[in-house]
Amino acid sequence: MTYKIAVLPGDGIGNDVMDAAKIVLDKINLDAEYLHGDVGWEFWCKEGNPLPERTITLLKESDCCLFGAITSKPKEEAAKELAPHLRDTGLSYYSPIVAMRQLFGLYVNMRPCKSYQGNPLNYRDDIDIVVFRENTEGLYAGVEFHPVPDQVRTALSVHAKMAAFKDVANEDMAISCRIFTRKGCQRIVRAAFEYAKKFNRKTVTVIEKPNVIRETSGLMIREARNIAREYPDIEMWETNVDAMAMWLIKNPQDYSVLVTSNLFGDIISDLCAQLVGGLGFASAANMSESFAVFEPTHGSAPKYAGQHKVNPTAMLLAVKLMLDWLGEKEDARALEQAIATVVKEGRFRTYDMGGTSSTLEVAQEVANKL
Ligand code: NAI
Ligand code: MG
């Protein structure tokens, strides 16, 4: 069966690194059809929609999606850059990647952070962490208020602690809700344990803050303890998110699979990424049972756009994750090996690694090793 893969380069260096991905995919010669989709700032400005309906249709017809990066800007700036005929029509900018996660229920954000030998940017050479970040709820669910409507204040007044805010005016208060569901907690924790089981990992660390954020973090921890019982061969560790930031700097080599909610996962996974080379090496898989979007975690880096200067490794590792997800294990393994060899030999390095090679030269060298 020929795979249908939606290719969404997006903005800026999203295009540069997608060119690199194509070099490697051509070499792998996967039985796949690559379908280009429009996404990003250009389509916000021209059409008032950064994720046009035709792209959503394309995604629905595809097996999975390879995503580059997009530019996003604050509300006021976004409004100003709209085409004149679209201004003041009530349109408001939203992040297409967040929209895709919600639209397709991509509740797992998996970010592998592994130090490849010979990478001069490694913090240590023995790090092999995989972060599972809940991707659809928590503080990023988007349930926010400013000014806070009267009904919301009235509803919240059932909580005794709201008395502390009784003299604050509605417009002087902003509320962002941290919503956890039992199902949401269960499925992200289960994804982490299933991964640990499949890849023979010994520990899963659940990262929350239940001593202070009692209800949401508490729910996550209780559900995690229940699920952990089903995996007697895997040890579950519980760590508060603040302490985790310290432990990851002190002893990152001790950790294996990490699982946490949306905001904490966003922060912790960036920390982990920097331990193994930073944005040029950080890839992510956004997954549900039936669909997935693979991306480098960096943004569109406008100052390097179109120069083929940035490191394609994060994107190539995203391709590796895609191959794994499609079940093309041999190609995935070979691609990771090729990337590791190029890093180790150090003959082709982009600027961030102290080299002068271009994005495409690095990709070509990876292809040569395949
Ligand atoms: P960024 O990730 O685009 O770039 C920050 C800096 O990191 C760059 O200037 C560059 O020095 C370095 N960098 C990034 N990717 C690199 C690579 N592959 N190789 C070598 N160096 C690399 O983040 P920034 O500047 O904060 O955001 C730029 C735009 O990207 C903004 O509009 C932002 O909203 C958007 N963004 C989009 C994301 C996405 O598409 N998932 C994620 C993060 C930011
Ligand atoms: Mg982030």
Residue with tokens 């090496």: 281
The 10s digit of each residue's pLDDT in 266-314 is 999 999 999 999 999 999 999 999 999 999 999 999 999 999 999 999 9
* pLDDT mean over 77-94: 91
The 10s digit of each residue's pLDDT in 183-231 is 999 999 999 999 999 999 999 999 999 999 999 999 999 999 999 999 9
Q: Ligand 1 test: best mutation among 81, 95, 298, most atoms within 8 Å of CB? A: 298
Determine the pLDDT at residue 11.
Answer: 97
The 10s digit of each residue's pLDDT in 101-127 is 989 999 999 999 999 999 999 999 999
CA of 298 to the centre of ligand 1 (A): 4
The 10s digit of each residue's pLDDT in 60-75 is 999 999 999 999 988 8
**pLDDT band at residue 98 under the 50/70/90 scheme:** confident
Q: Which CATH number fits domain 123-140+180-275: 3.30.450, 1.25.40, 1.20.950, 3.40.50?
A: 3.40.50
Q: Which atom of ligand 1 is nearest to the CA of 298?
A: 2
* Ordered DSSP codes for 208-236: E-TTTSHHHHHHHHHHHHHHHTT-TTSEE
Ligand 1 in contact with 283 (CB < 6 A)?
Answer: no
Report the CATH fold assignment for 1-104+283-370. Answer: Isopropylmalate Dehydrogenase (3.40.718)
* pLDDT mean over 175-189: 98
**pLDDT band at residue 147 under the 50/70/90 scheme:** very high
User: Contact 267/111 with Cβ under 8 angstroms?
Assistant: no
Determine the pLDDT at residue 247.
Answer: 98
The 10s digit of each residue's pLDDT in 8-53 is 999 999 999 999 999 999 999 999 999 999 999 999 999 999 999 9
Determine the pLDDT at residue 102.
Answer: 87
The partner residues of 7 in beta bridges, in order of sequence, read: 36, 66
Give 85's contacts (C-beta < 8 A, 6+ positions apart): none
Determine the pLDDT at residue 292.
Answer: 98
Ligand 1 in contact with 303 (CB < 6 A)?
Answer: yes
Sort 163 into a burial class: Cβ within 10 Å, 0-12 / 13-18 / 19+: exposed
Determine the pLDDT at residue 365.
Answer: 98
Determine the pLDDT at residue 88.
Answer: 86
Task: Kindly report the pTM of this predicted structure.
Answer: 0.94
Return the domain boundaries, the chain: 1-104+283-370, 123-140+180-275, 143-176
> Residue 116 has what DSSP assignment?
P
Give 162's contacts (C-beta < 8 A, 6+ positions apart): 153, 156
Separation CA 275–CA 11 (nearest Å):
27
**Angle (nearest 5°) at CA 29 between 24 and 34:** 80
Ligand 1 in contact with 65 (CB < 6 A)?
Answer: no
**pLDDT band at residue 59 under the 50/70/90 scheme:** very high
The partner residues of 295 in beta bridges, in order of sequence, read: 284
Determine the pLDDT at residue 76.
Answer: 86
Would you tell me the crossing angle of helices 241-250 and 262-275 to the nearest 10 degrees?
10
Ligand 1 in contact with 270 (CB < 6 A)?
Answer: no
Ligand 1 in contact with 298 (CB < 6 A)?
Answer: yes
